Amino acid sequence: MKIVDLHLVTHDLAAQHAFYARVLGFPVLSTGQSAITFGAGDSRLTFAQIPQGMTREWSGAYHVAFTIPTNQFAAQRHGLPGGSP
């Protein structure tokens, strides 16, 4: 199965932008006051700002993983804008 569009919610849109664009180097496909969409290979990853007043528990917890073929791992790791983690 291939996920083409993944939509998640966040309490801190600026932090998502900083991590996915600046650290991982994902291109920003669109941005607005309450959402940002990144390109992740052939997929799109969208974060929407949780409405003010909603609790943290409402947002749930997420884990997102990206598969990188073993023979491409070193090149991808060294290609990170912030250096390798």
- The CATH code of the domain that includes 15 is 3.10.180.10
Q: How many CB atoms lie within 10 A of CB 49?
A: 18
Contact 47, 8 (CB under 8 A): yes
72 assigned to some structural domain: no
How many structural domains compose the chain?
Answer: 1
Domain annotation covers residue 75: no
Of 26, 40, 60, 82, which is closest to residue 48 (Cα–Cα)? 60
21 inside domain? yes
In a domain, 23, yes or no: yes
pLDDT in tens, 67-81: 777 887 776 666 666
pLDDT tens readout for residues 16-75: 999 999 888 899 999 999 999 999 888 899 999 987 776 666 556 667 777 777 887 776
Domain assignment present for 17? yes
Does residue 36 fall inside a structural domain?
Answer: yes
State the residue range of the domain holding 44. Answer: 1-50
- The pTM (predicted TM-score) of the whole model is 0.73
